[in-house]
Amino acid sequence: MGVLISNDAKLEQLLDTAEIEHIVHFVLEAEGVTREVEISLSFVDEEEMHGLNRQWRGIDKTTDVLSFECDSAFDEDIPLDEALELGDIILAPQVIARQAPEFGNSAQDECRLMLVHGMLHLLGYDHIEDDEAEAMEAREDELLRLLAAARGDDPASIEVGPITRHTHD
């Protein structure tokens, strides 16, 4: 598994590189991805995120995370010995840190949530329909509680609010 992390603006990442790689690997393993994949993770400032959200989603305001799936981790037409380009996750740490208190989270916990959220998008989860949103949110909750336990934190302290519907968009 390869994770290419870009932070050209030298923004506070909120999570160190080792934890980012651990979360990516953990989500892949939990979702049954056994083949080699590559993921690009970029930290961008609020202005750049606003432009990307406008360009790719037609929403003229900033957001916390964007995901762009490339290859499917479950595509049987791609040879198993060939690494897949799973996709790109873009995080806006300034937005994440600002919204964290609204959800009762630390900036780090909110960043973990956004990273898991982005990873699930790359693995085919979506939240357009209510049932999809409920399934995605339940999986986020489960994964974040397992990650908390692995860090030695209390899994019951994890707060995953109703975030997957993007009603604020």
Cβ burial of 55 (10 Å; 0-12, 13-18, 19+) is exposed
Angle between helices 130-151 and 107-122 (to 10 degrees): 130
Distance CA 123, CA 31 (A): 8
- Could you tell me the CA-to-CA distances from 71 to 46, 68, 142 in Å, in that order? 27, 10, 25
Cβ atoms of 92 and 111 closer than 8 Å: no
- The residue written with tokens 């900033």 in the block is 62
Distance CA 145, CA 2 (A): 24
Please tell me whether 117 is known to bind a ligand.
yes
Please tell me whether 121 is known to bind a ligand.
yes
SS in 3 state form for 4-34?
EEECCCCCCCCCCHHHHHHHHHHHHHHCCCC
Please tell me whether 25 is known to bind a ligand.
no
Residues in the annotated binding site for Zn(2+): 117, 121, 127
Residues in the annotated binding site: 117, 121, 127
